[in-house]
Amino acid sequence: MFRTISNNLAFFRQFRQRFETTGAIAPSSQFLARSMTRFLAKRGSGAVRVLEIGPGTGPVTQQIIPLLKAGDRFDIVELNESFVEILNARFQQDEAWMEAAHFSEIHQLPIQEFQPDEKYDFVISGLPLNNFPADLVDSIANTYFKLLKPDGVLSYFEYMYVRPIRKVVTRGDEKIRITRIDDTMQGHCDRHRIQRDKIWINIPPAWIQHLGGSPGEGGGVAG
């Protein structure tokens, strides 16, 4: 309970100081976290490689940890040093996290600079893409698929209707930026989407996009 309050306060401080890279006023809800990890929860018996990008204070990490097994590999990429400190403390102090510490590693760098030895079965991202420059979003999205195995699953969230509303109410450079982001991400969804979940119990409500490493073939959209 006290850790949750502390993490929420830390998240809010970072939101005030660095809105462009934090992007939300509160950590993700447990409902969003469950949706983000739904395909990891259906994993087979073999070892898997999992990459989480932009975990913040770790609400989705908290959902990932119990789904991991001995032999797995879990990498976390987080740029914000305050969040990295919180995550490191969890791996040192939280019993459940400590059990996964020997096959987990936190990397403090931009995701475009992350160069692992192998690709991942699951890539789970909490990056606030709508806050970034359009060229950066294009680079990040391409990096997602470079890091994902052909049969892997990418899961990321976006707040409901933010881009459609911004495209209507903004003008000039901001309208161009958000339109380019929408075109980039919608293009990836059209080619790769496996499923989309609606999460109403979150601040704000969100869509969870689940995309495959290879283009989908007639896959429907749930939700």
Q: Which residues pair with 192 in a beta bridge?
A: none
Q: Using the CB atoms, write b or e for 192-219: b if 16+ within 10 Å.
A: bbbbbbebeebeeebbbbbbbbeebeee
- Give the whole-angstrom CA distance, residue 98 versus residue 162: 37
The label of the residue with tokens 């991202």 reads: 125
Q: Return the domain boundaries, the chain.
A: 2-212
CATH 2.60.40.10 fits 2-212, yes or no: no
Q: Residue 47 in contact with residue 74, Cβ under 8 Å? A: no
Provide the 3-class DSSP secondary structure of residue 18.
Answer: coil
Which amino acid is residue 49, in one-letter code? R
For the purposes of burial, counting CB atoms within 10 Å of the CB of 70, is it exposed (0-12), middle (13-18) or buried (19 or more)? Answer: exposed
User: Cis omega (within 30 of 0) on the bond before 128?
Assistant: no
Q: Residue 49 in contact with residue 76, Cβ under 8 Å? A: no
Q: Residue 76 in contact with residue 52, Cβ under 8 Å? A: yes
Q: Residue 62 in contact with residue 33, Cβ under 8 Å? A: yes
User: What is the predicted pLDDT for the residue at 105?
Assistant: 98
Provide the 3-class DSSP secondary structure of residue 198.
Answer: strand
pTM of the model: 0.85
Q: Which residues pair with 73 in a beta bridge?
A: 49
User: What is the predicted pLDDT for the residue at 24?
Assistant: 53
User: What is the predicted pLDDT for the residue at 164?
Assistant: 87
For the purposes of burial, counting CB atoms within 10 Å of the CB of 22, is it exposed (0-12), middle (13-18) or buried (19 or more)? Answer: buried
User: What is the predicted pLDDT for the residue at 3?
Assistant: 53
Which amino acid is residue 92, in one-letter code? Q
The beta strand positions in 33-138, using DSSP E, are 49-53, 73-77, 104-107, 120-125
User: What is the predicted pLDDT for the residue at 22?
Assistant: 43
pLDDT in tens, the chain (223 residues): 545 545 444 434 443 444 444 445 556 789 999 999 999 999 999 999 999 999 999 999 999 999 999 999 999 999 999 999 999 999 999 999 999 999 999 999 999 999 999 999 999 999 999 999 999 999 999 999 999 999 999 999 999 988 888 888 999 999 999 999 999 999 999 999 999 999 999 988 999 999 999 764 434 444 4
